[in-house]
Amino acid sequence: MDTAYYLNLAFNGLVEGSIYALGALAITLVFGIARFPNASTGDLMTVGAFGGLAGTLAGGGLLGAAIAGVGVSAAVALAFHFLLFRNLARRSAVASMIASIGLAFFLRSALSFIFGHDQRVYDLPLTRAVLFGPIRVQPTDLQVMGAAAAALAVVFAVLHLTPIGRRMRAVADNPDLARASGINAGRVMAVMWLMAGGLAGLGGVLLGAKTVVTSEMGWDLLLPAFAATILGTIGNPIGAVLGGLLIGLVQELSTPFVGFTYKIGMGFAVLLLMLMIRPQGLFARNALVR
Amino acid sequence: MAGRIEARMRRAVTAGVSLAVMSLALGGAAQAETAPFRIGALNPVTGAGSPYGPGMQKAIILAADEVNAAGGACGRKLEVSAEDTQTSPEAAVLAVKKLIEVNKVDAVMGTWSSGVTLAVMPITTQAGLSLLNTSGAPAISTEDKADLVWRFQATNDRFGQAFARIATERGFKRPATMAYNNASGIGNTEGFTRAWTAAGGEVVSSVVYEPKRPSYRSELQQILAANPDVIVMGSYLQDTTVILREWYQSGQNPDVKWIIPGWAANQQLIDALGPDVLANVIAVDSISNESAPSYAHFEAAYKKAMGADAPANVYAAMTYDMVIAWGLAMQQACPDTATAAVNGSIRAIDTADGAPVYTFAEGKAAIEAGRKVNYEGASSRLSFDEYGDVTPDFSLSEIDGGAFVRKGVVSF
């Protein structure tokens, strides 16, 4: 148990955390603008993973998988915005949340029905790890972290550098004032769902590249992604990413002390501790999605 | 008061009043002898068990046909209702309730994963039905208080003993273990550790890991830090796929060997990773009773029905034996063919001093002639121990020309 051992644990935690972070980003966007906890995020990740499978089968490699996965899950998210969530927008957040739970079950069952329960694997070339000092880094890991960083950059660019982003922030800040100022909330919602779906899809593709693709895979990520969202303050994109990384770090670094079966609980223990000390989350400000 | 009566009842039963006598006393024999005996085939047609489930179901049906062709058991025909467990405990519970309540089955056969069997067991036991399974978890033996559960597969503990035997034969000195956190996974590695340490060896590192993690790098790092020469797994296909890929890609300890149960190290694993990654893997699986005439008989029937070779599906031989053994037990229990009576007669067709029989027709003729029989199964010799568990032989396979090829057999 030397420094190198812990450094490797920390690195593994950051890689896992990057995947949580993508899910958390998707959750936080919906939470900030549509104002309900979207329980179908995990299964949107699964949709993205299957989309990515199509991308690799078409010979696109990991990049093709990412493009196909993001495209498919963004399209699915947008479709269900029009079919489902748009009609519930006037109702309480609970109605939308329950609907999202229903959507989660629907997506998982549909995928199981179409693709069965057998595992599928992205046909990507096997690579060897490279040593960066004491840390063993696999090319896939760098791609995972790079993708999470790029996704965060894109979210920020959209929110802060584009007119639609400014409107999104306005709607997040004060929906009534935004409507009174003539902002088209419908378009804002559509773009938000495209982004949230795409982010979840990207998370699913990365998870699929690291593990195996099954119809159940995303569901298991929903809780850590929610924990990351709450840890980093609901509605705060940077907070979501940092929350995800923190949970990954704490999980892996706790393993020498609590073993590998209780590490998952450690992520939630951090969340509990934080909620007791700072109920508003780590990065609370008065406004959301800023 | 009621409790005291119950305690007295229980004492009476354990004092040796057999279930058969009880059911006679309760009028169990009053039912019509000619009604078909209904078997619920509860197999993993989809899910992780899908490589085996369809063949298991087919084997039950063809065995039932065989019993019926021989005039049935004790004059009763067998009727099969089939359901899919989806290799999921939740789905299996719904399916078994449907079999019991709608199809009115008298016995349930062919549950595959331990999680499914442990979930279904309380329901079948509550209904007074026998459950014949192919699962490995040691807990199934101890949880079966009513002696209604029969296991046609080796326990994980015996798998672990086979692993230890193979590790010894291959001259490994520094084994480490990795177990999936459930009864079956831990049962494998604990069985190995018990057998290995009893022989004076030591296990250099062990990890119990959670299913469906995004990565197993940290788990691997802890195991590989102890510098083992072999890693013994109690695992399933999905986690094995991820763990072996990460080990191969990390480039750490490239010479370490792996001993993995056959339900995880199978053709699907080769499809997922390619044969190069699996060059160091020794796959251990229980095998059928291949030298017995009953196996030759089953193999021919299976090939005709499925168009596939029987050795690829050891579980099909087990489910075939379930029906044949059950049919013979019905014959033995004749004229009372209620579930409880048949359940009580299973050991009677496995008598050490009985005449060995290899097919249903042969066994039926012998029983009708008043002889004691010993059914030697297609899947194993079917010698049930006190828990209703069997001890099959094991094979070890290694990658050869892009597929797992058998390299040896371990018998106990």
Contact B250 A136 (CB under 8 A): yes
A-interface mutation test, from B87, B178, B215, most A Cβ less than 10 A away: B215
Mutate to test the interface with A, among B217, B220, B241 (most CBs of A within 10 A): B217
Asked if residue B190 lies in contact with residue B203, where contact means CB atoms within 8 angstroms, the answer is no
Low-confidence ranges of chain B (pLDDT < 50): 1-2, 9, 12-32
The shortest C-alpha distance from B271 to chain A (Å) reads 9
Contact B210 A220 (CB under 8 A): no
Cis peptide before B214 (omega within 30 of 0): no
Structural contact between residues B260 and B235, judged by C-beta atoms closer than 8 angstroms:
yes
A116 near B CB under 8 A:
yes
Chain B residues bordering chain A (beta-carbon distance below 8 Å) = 46-48, 50, 86-88, 181, 207-210, 212-215, 217-219, 221-222, 225, 237-238, 241-242, 245-246, 248-252, 268, 271-274, 276-277
Model pLDDT, residue B25: 43
Give the distance from residue A207's alpha carbon to the nearest chain B alpha carbon, in angstroms: 6
Q: What's the confidence (pLDDT) of residue B400?
A: 95
pLDDT of res. B28:
41
The helix (H) or strand (E) run that includes residue B118 is helix B114-126
pLDDT of residue A111: 95
Q: Is A115 on the interface with B (CB under 8 A)?
A: no
Closest approach of chain B CAs to the CA of A60, in angstroms? 18
B277 contact residues in A (CB cutoff 8 A): 126
Residues in a beta bridge with B179: B208, B234
Which amino acid is residue A173, in one-letter code? D
- Note whether A103 and A84 are within 8 A (CB): yes
B270 three-class SS: helix
Q: Strand pairing of B393-400 and B281-287?
A: antiparallel
- By the 8 A CB rule, do B329 and B346 touch? yes
Task: Please tell me the predicted confidence (pLDDT) of residue A279.
Answer: 86
> Could you give the CA distance from residue B38 to residue B108 in angstroms, rounded to a whole number?
9
Predicted local confidence at residue B175, as pLDDT: 98
Q: Which of B374, B384, B297 is nearest to B332 (CA)?
A: B374
Q: A264: which chain B residues are within 8 Å (Cβ-Cβ)?
A: 210
Please report how many Cα atoms fall inside a 13 Å half-sphere around the Cα of residue A286, on the Cβ side.
Answer: 1
Q: Kindly report the backbone phi and psi dihedral angles of residue B282, in degrees, each rounded to the nearest multiple of 5, phi listed first.
A: -110, 115
* Other beta carbons within 10 Å of A64: 17
CB contacts < 8 Å between A and B, how many?
100
Indicate which of A3, A5, A12, A264 best probes the interface with B, i.e. most B CBs within 10 Å of its own CB: A12
Could you write out the three-class secondary structure of chain A?
A: CCHHHHHHHHHHHHHHHHHHHHHHHHHHHHHHHCCCCCCCHHHHHHHHHHHHHHHHHCCCHHHHHHHHHHHHHHHHHHHHHHHHHHHHCCCCHHHHHHHHHHHHHHHHHHHHHHHCCCCECCCCCCCCCEEECCEEECHHHHHHHHHHHHHHHHHHHHHHHCHHHHHHHHHHHCHHHHHHCCCCHHHHHHHHHHHHHHHHHHHHHHHHHHCCECCCCCHHHHHHHHHHHHHCCCCCHHHHHHHHHHHHHHHHHCHHHHCCCCHHHHHHHHHHHHHHHCCCCCCCCCCCCC
Q: Do B242 and A261 touch (CB under 8 A)?
A: no
Let me know: does B324 contact B66? Beta carbons within 8 Å: yes
Q: How confident is the model at residue A287 (pLDDT cuts 50, 70, 90)?
A: very low
Q: Mark yes or no for CB contact B50/A212 under 8 Å.
A: no
| Closest-approach residue (CA) in chain B for A211 | B242
**How far apart (Å, rounded) are the C-alpha atoms in residues B347 and B355?**
14
Does the pLDDT value for residue A133 go beyond 70? yes
Best B45, B94, B218, B220 residue to mutate vs chain A (most A CBs within 10 Å)? B218
Which residue of B46, B208, B212, B220 to mutate against A (max A Cβ within 10 Å)?
B212
Q: State which H helix or E strand residue B326 sits in.
A: helix B314-333
Contact by Cβ (8 Å): A196, A70: no
Pairwise CA distance, residues B287 & B374, whole Å: 20
pLDDT digits (tens, 9 = 90+) for A70-121: 999 999 999 999 999 999 988 999 999 999 999 999 999 999 899 987 899 9
Asked whether the beta carbons of A53 and A111 are under 8 A apart, the reply is no
* Interchain contact, A261 vs B215, CB within 8 Å: no
Query: What is d(CA A229, CA A232) in angstroms, rounded to the nearest whole number?
Result: 5
Determine how β-strand B78-84 pairs with β-strand B107-111: unpaired
Q: What are phi and psi of B113, to 5 degrees?
A: -90, 155
- Contact flag A138-B268 (C-beta cutoff 8 Å): no
CA–CA gap between residue A50 and residue B106 (Å, rounded): 42
Contact status, residue B152 vs residue B288, Cβ threshold 8 Å? no
A89-111 b/e (C-beta count within 10 Å ≥ 16 → b): beeeeeebbebbeebbeebbeeb
Token representation of residue A11: 């690195």
Give me the amino acid identity at A99: A
What mean pLDDT, rounded, does chain A reach?
92
Q: Are the Cβ atoms of B251 and A129 closer than 8 angstroms?
A: yes
Interchain proximity B209–A260, CB inside 8 Å = yes
d(CA B242, CA B240): 5
Partners of A9 on chain B (C-beta within 8 Å) are 218, 221
Asked if A119's CB is within 8 angstroms of B222's CB, the reply is: no
Name the pairing type of β-strands B403-410 and B355-357.
unpaired
In chain A, what residues touch B271 (CB-CB under 8 Å)? 121
Q: How far is CA A198 from each of CA A214, A227, B24, B170, B334, rounded to the nearest angstrom? A: 19, 20, 67, 51, 66
Contact of B139 with B172, CB cutoff 8 Å: no
CA distance B298 to B295: 5
Q: Any CB–CB contact under 8 A between A221 and chain B? A: yes
For A:124-153, CB contacts with B below 8 A are 126-129, 136, 138, 140
CB atoms near residue B15 (< 10 Å): 7
A57 C-beta neighbours (distance < 10 Å), count: 14
Q: For an interface test with A, which of B206, B209, B249 has the most A Cβ atoms less than 10 Å from its Cβ?
A: B249
Are the C-beta atoms of B152 and B120 separated by less than 8 Å? no
Radius of gyration of chain A (CA): 19
Q: Inter-chain contact B242–A128, Cβ cutoff 8 Å? A: no
Instruction: Find residues 197-216 of chain A whose CB sits inside 8 Å of chain B.
Output: 207, 210-212, 214, 216
pLDDT of residue A152 exceeding 50: yes
Q: What is the pTM of this model?
A: 0.88
Got the DSSP string for B149-194? EEE-S--HHHHHHHHHHHHHHTT---EEEEEESSHHHHHHHHHHHH
B124 CA: distance to closest CA in chain A (Å) = 26
Encode B188-240 in three state secondary structure. HHHHHHHHHHHCCCCCCEEEEECCCCCCCHHHHHHHHHCCCCEEEEECCHHHH
The whole-angstrom separation of Cα B21 and Cα B400 is 56
- Is B241's CB within 8 Å of A212's CB? yes
- Cα separation of B318 and B378, whole Å? 7
- Give the minimum alpha-carbon distance from B81 to chain A in angstroms, rounded to a whole number: 22
CB B70 within 8 A of CB B88: no
Contact check, Cβ <8 Å, A118/B86: no
Chain B CB within 8 Å of residue A49 CB? no
User: Do A12 and A253 form a contact (C-beta atoms < 8 A)?
Assistant: no
B140: tokens are: 């199934």
* Pairwise CA distance, residues B147 & B59, whole Å: 25
- pLDDT score recorded for residue B8: 53
Question: Nearest Cβ partner of A117 from B87, B210, B252?
Answer: B87
